[in-house]
Amino acid sequence: MLFSDVVATSEQVRATRSRKEKTAALAALLSAAGPAGIGTVVAWLSGELTQGRIGVGWRTVTGLGAAASDRNRLTVEQVDDYFTRLKGVSSTKSRREILTELFTAATEEEQSFLIRLLTGELRQGALTAQVVEGLARSTGIGVDVIRRAHMLSGNLPATAVAAITGGEDALREFRLEVGRPVAPMLASPGGSLDEALAELGPQVSVEHKLDGARIQAHRAGEQVWVFTRTLRDITAGVPELVELVRGLDCTSVVLDGETLALTDAGRPRPFQETMSRFATIGDTRELLLHPYFFDCLHLDGEDLLDEPLRVRRRALDRVAGPHAIPTLVAPDAEAAAECYDDALAVGNEGVMVKSLEAPYAAGRRGKAWQKVKPAHTLDLLVIGAEWGYGRRTGFLSNLHLAALDQDTGEPVMVGKTFKGLTDELLRWQTEEFPRHATHRDAQTVYLRPNLVVEIALDGVQTSTRYPGGVALRFARVLRYRPDKEPAQADTIETVRALGGR
């Protein structure tokens, strides 16, 4: 298959907002890719490389200055071979020579695609969810079957290869594998506690929402693994968590939860202090992490993903009860309100309200889990920053904030804020943001949407000022979220919902 076929389909998907047309275009391309190329094509359309990270950054590819080819001659296999060669070299000179060779063989359209692919900028709406739908249409296999196989394999290219070579039977062979992380189930922002209880009904659990870092702990015999929200293996950097999980009364287990550092008084330390433990693998420091688990996905050979939460909760209490997050099961409204007040009193963010009947929907955000906090919060993308004035002269200050368009994968601007920025954050932004810059003018540095920031706000109002049709009210910075990928930012639909649209 020609590389230009992938590029053309990517552009076709990028140019339309119609989900139906996107799916049709992707299905046609995946059908033509065949068993030999489908894994690579699926990876690229999802914005990834089959080789993982290859050490090529924005400055390298944008500074090549290679003349473009006047004809389409590169194949998918040839481009993938170039990426493999790049991963195998450490010399800056050798890397530039390989990249120059590749870019010289590429047309102008292919060069543009390569830049976006290599720098994580491939945001054309053909991200994971859309590729899954295209794969379902091209193979005739149910989208739920493909989605589940992907969730369990953790590898969409491998899922695509199985679908095209073995069909539905091959996909149903995928099982939860202890030691291989599962995409975490995500929560939606809820309204008030009363609203969440009214929507989900009486059969819910109400648990403290901790201001910690999401972890997933796996154990098989004496072997233990600990993964982050983004499925990064941090086992080597958290020996105290490894020791605790190894000491549980079981032979195999997969637990979902949070970890955080505590003060001497037992209250949660700031989120940034907890995250500092993940910065350098192998550095245990003096800041001990404490795990608080809220779900059990596997126990002693039995997978529990499809079981309702009430069953998973019993398994959790049996294997890790002393380390479970404080939870009430099927409380009345008065008890739930007391739990909410208690959570705030001990320094937690609020509560999670979860349906006891819901299975574990890995990798998906739904209404079965709702987070209730005193103030609305959103995880948004930083797409620009303005130079400050007065006391902030010389610092990048006023942030341009965007939510994700779930259909296109593009950031949609919804507001600005400079509130909540400490002197430390101002210094960090001014040093860090130029590394993510795409261009700038006299007042603003415009950024690739790589950084996720948590914003508190009083609400959302209709506005024609920003492309999303809404504007944030009294937005203020709470913290940056290095534990979250850009694709995990909140969508424009979520933002609009806060305004009742």
Domain ranges of the chain: 3-173, 186-372, 376-498
Q: Do 291 and 234 form a contact (C-beta atoms < 8 A)?
A: no
246 marked among binding-site residues? no
pLDDT value for 501: 43
Q: Do 168 and 145 form a contact (C-beta atoms < 8 A)?
A: yes
Statement: 376-498 belongs to CATH 2.40.50.140: yes
DSSP conformation letters of 1-43: -BHHHHHHHHHHHHH---HHHHHHHHHHHHHHHHHHHHHHHHH
pLDDT value for 333: 94
pLDDT value for 286: 64
- CATH fold of 186-372, please? D-amino Acid Aminotransferase; Chain A, domain 1 (3.30.470)
Q: Which helix (H) or strand (E) holds 183?
A: none
User: Considering only the top CATH level, what class is 3-173?
Assistant: mainly alpha
- E strands present in 319-373: 327-329, 350-355, 365-372
For residue range 470-494, list pLDDT tens digits in order.
999 889 999 999 988 888 899 999 9
- Spell 322-343 as b/e; 16+ CB within 10 A means b: ebbbbbbeebeeeebbebbeeb
- Catalytic positions are 209
Taking 50 as the pLDDT cut, the residues of the chain under it are 125, 281-284, 501
In the chain, the amino acid numbered 36 is A
258 marked among binding-site residues? yes
416 marked among binding-site residues? no
Three-state DSSP at 131 gives helix
Three-state DSSP at 300 gives coil
pLDDT value for 322: 95
pLDDT value for 500: 56
229 marked among binding-site residues? yes
Displacement of CA 331 from its chain's centroid (Å): 32
Q: Give the whole-angstrom CA distance, residue 182 versus residue 424.
A: 35
Q: Enter the tokens of residue 112.
A: 């543009």
Q: Give the whole-angstrom CA distance, residue 212 versus residue 289.
A: 10
pLDDT value for 284: 46
pLDDT value for 288: 83
pLDDT value for 92: 81
For the full predicted model, state whether its pTM sits above 0.75. Answer: no
pLDDT value for 378: 93
In the chain, the amino acid numbered 255 is L
207 marked among binding-site residues? yes
Helix-strand-coil split of the chain, %, nearest 5? 40, 25, 35
Tokens 């601007």, residue? 413
